[in-house]
């Protein structure tokens, strides 16, 4: 039996759930090309305190956004009537549940989040996944984790209007503590790869440049459309189907130089995921560093999704002795990751802060990332 909804507005709580943000170690802009990614969950989470109600109302409140709770009628949820603010992610999930034939009677949801917003660390996916998991549990919808991730992606694509892939939602829903997730985004085949950097004397720093980014704006969609044009030119259903060994020959068949660069990034990036997996499985974590830096160059020069601040993090950290660094997530701002010897981590961090200060840029925020648990019920 699921929890029976209370009459009208609820003052009770039926449960508390948490879903994390993520960093992506390698495999950027490959997920909407049916390719490979390797994210891990952050300890930063969005927590939802939820009570079902029986009157067809969705009442949303966030401790992080000033103002009164927002009340929406479930019957009115429609992508054409989205509000353009954070509530679209929650409303989109409820809309996607209903659209898939699942019944939600109404809910009061209160959110609190420690996932930095707009930092490329998947605060949106955390919000979607915690909402979907709580409602799936309370209404006994029986959705498994990949199905939850797909539903959240649908909410983001069709309700919010951001043409994103499946990586962030799957990371938030499926990651495990102490592991990175090797994910095949074509069929959501997953492999948990042990990823204990501290045991190897290493650290992964996350550097939030504080340059805000958004995926519902045009550039992300343009890259996605360019990749689809590349796949069409090559006669494959997705760029994942272009083998690395056949890259030169494939590039010779793509006329548009911009599309050719996108193809080159995606095909080489899928190969980089395989190389990083190989190093991680062999326990050779230091060799991952140069692959990250190579990936950054490809995102900067071929895919054109970096920005000056992200490039600066990579240059300054590598010059200060980091093993490797790259932007993480969609780009156009957001965060970078830096792999470094733990013993050099504070020097590397200081070098990044100094480089920003020298250019009179807003100081970035730094923290050490350790792979944490995926979405779960707390109480």
How far is the C-alpha of 363 from the C-alpha of 287, rounded, in Å? Answer: 29
- Rule CB under 6 A: choose which of 6, 20, 28, 375 binds ligand GAF: 28
- Report the site for ligand GAF in 198-217 (rule: CB under 6 A): 215
* Nearest CB to ligand GAF, comparing residues 74 and 193: 193
Q: Any binding-site annotation on 156?
A: yes
User: Considering the complex, what minimum distance in angstroms separates the CB of residue 165 from ligand GAF?
Assistant: 3
Q: Are the CB atoms for 173 and 155 separated by under 8 Å?
A: no
Q: Any binding-site annotation on 123?
A: yes
- Report the site for ligand GAF in 131-170 (rule: CB under 6 A): 164-165, 167-168
Number of residues lying near ligand GAF (CB under 6 A): 11
* Nearest CB to ligand GAF, comparing residues 31 and 137: 31
Return the structure tokens found at 300. Answer: 């900067």
- Distances in Å between the alpha carbon of 314 and those of 106, 181, 205? 47, 24, 11
Q: Any binding-site annotation on 379?
A: no
How far is the C-alpha of 334 from the C-alpha of 353, rounded, in Å? Answer: 16
Q: Any binding-site annotation on 29?
A: yes
User: Considering the complex, what minimum distance in angstroms separates the CB of residue 56 from ligand GAF?
Assistant: 31
- Rule CB under 6 A: choose which of 92, 116, 329, 374 binds ligand GAF: 329
* Nearest CB to ligand GAF, comparing residues 90 and 157: 157
User: Considering the complex, what minimum distance in angstroms separates the CB of residue 168 from ligand GAF?
Assistant: 5
User: Considering the complex, what minimum distance in angstroms separates the CB of residue 245 from ligand GAF?
Assistant: 23
Kindly report the three-state secondary structure assignment for every residue of 139-204: CCCCCCHHHHHHHHHHHHHHHHCCCCCCHHHHHHHHCCCCEEEEEECCCCEEEEEECCCHHHCEEE
- Rule CB under 6 A: choose which of 92, 226, 230, 330 binds ligand GAF: 330
* Nearest CB to ligand GAF, comparing residues 34 and 176: 34
Tally of CA atoms within 13 A in the half-sphere of 1 that contains its CB = 3
* Nearest CB to ligand GAF, comparing residues 39 and 364: 39
Paired with 109 in beta bridges are 50, 60
For the chain, the straight-line distance linking the first and the last C-alpha, in angstroms and rounded, comes to: 17
* Nearest CB to ligand GAF, comparing residues 220 and 356: 220
Return the structure tokens found at 87. Answer: 């509530």
* Nearest CB to ligand GAF, comparing residues 5 and 330: 330
In residues, how long is the chain? 379
Q: Which stretch, 28-36, 188-196, 206-214, 285-293, contacts ligand GAF (CB under 6 A)?
A: 28-36
Q: Is 22 in the site for ligand GAF (CB under 6 A)?
A: no
Q: Which stretch, 26-34, 108-116, 270-278, 306-314, contacts ligand GAF (CB under 6 A)?
A: 26-34
User: Considering the complex, what minimum distance in angstroms separates the CB of residue 55 from ligand GAF?
Assistant: 34
187 counts as catalytic: no
In 3-state terms, the chain is what percent helix, strand and coil (to 5)?
45, 20, 35
Nearest one of 318, 315, 299, 303 to 359, comparing CA atoms: 315
Strand pairing class (39-52; 15-24): antiparallel
Tally of CA atoms within 13 A in the half-sphere of 277 that contains its CB = 19
Q: Are the CB atoms for 46 and 127 separated by under 8 Å?
A: yes
User: Considering the complex, what minimum distance in angstroms separates the CB of residue 237 from ligand GAF?
Assistant: 18
- Report the site for ligand GAF in 245-284 (rule: CB under 6 A): none
Q: Which helix (H) or strand (E) holds 99?
A: helix 87-99
How far is the C-alpha of 20 from the C-alpha of 44, rounded, in Å? Answer: 6
- Rule CB under 6 A: choose which of 21, 23, 29, 209 binds ligand GAF: 29
* Known binding positions for ATP: 62, 118-124
* Active site residues per annotation: 168
Binding site for substrate, by residue number, is: 28-31, 220
Applying CB under 6 A, the residues found at the interface with ligand GAF are: 28-29, 31-32, 164-165, 167-168, 215, 329-330
């Amino acid at each position: 039996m699921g929890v029976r909804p209370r009459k009208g507005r609820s003052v009770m709580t039926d449960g508390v759930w948490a879903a994390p943000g993520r960093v992506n170690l390698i495999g950027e802009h490959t997920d909407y090309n049916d390719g490979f990614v390797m994210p891990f969950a952050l300890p930063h989470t969005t927590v939802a305190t939820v009570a079902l109600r029986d009157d067809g109302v969705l009442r949303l409140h966030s401790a992080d956004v000033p103002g009164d709770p927002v009340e929406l009628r479930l019957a009115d949820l429609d992508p054409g009537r989205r509000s353009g603010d954070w509530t679209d992610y929650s409303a989109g999930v409820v809309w996607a549940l209903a659209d898939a034939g699942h019944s939600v009677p109404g809910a009061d949801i209160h959110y609190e989040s420690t996932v930095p917003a707009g930092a490329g660390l998947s605060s949106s996916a955390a919000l979607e996944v915690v909402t979907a998991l709580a409602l799936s549990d309370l209404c006994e919808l029986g959705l498994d984790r990949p199905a939850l991730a797909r539903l959240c992606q649908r909410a983001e694509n069709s309700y919010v209007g951001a043409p994103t892939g499946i990586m962030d939602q799957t990371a938030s829903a499926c990651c495990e503590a102490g592991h990175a997730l090797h994910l095949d985004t074509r069929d959501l085949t997953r492999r948990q790869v042990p990823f204990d950097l501290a045991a190897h004397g290493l650290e992964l720093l996350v550097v939030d440049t504080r340059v805000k980014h958004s995926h519902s704006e045009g550039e992300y969609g343009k890259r996605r459309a360019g990749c689809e044009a590349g796949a069409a030119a090559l006669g494959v259903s997705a760029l994942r189907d272009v083998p690395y060994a056949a890259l030169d020959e494939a590039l010779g068949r793509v006329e548009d130089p911009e599309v050719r660069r996108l193809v080159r990034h995606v095909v080489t990036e899928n190969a980089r995921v395989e190389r990083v997996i190989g190093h991680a499985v062999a326990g050779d974590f230091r060799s991952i560093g140069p692959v990250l830096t190579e990936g950054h160059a490809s995102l900067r020069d071929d895919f054109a999704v970096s920005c000056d601040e992200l490039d600066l993090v990579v240059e300054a950290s590598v010059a200060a002795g980091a093993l490797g660094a790259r932007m993480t997530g969609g780009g156009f701002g957001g965060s970078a990751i830096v792999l470094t010897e733990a013993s050099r981590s504070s020097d590397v961090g200081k070098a990044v802060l100094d480089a920003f200060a020298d250019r009179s840029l807003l100081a970035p925020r730094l923290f050490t990332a350790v792979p944490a648990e995926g979405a779960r019920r707390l109480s």
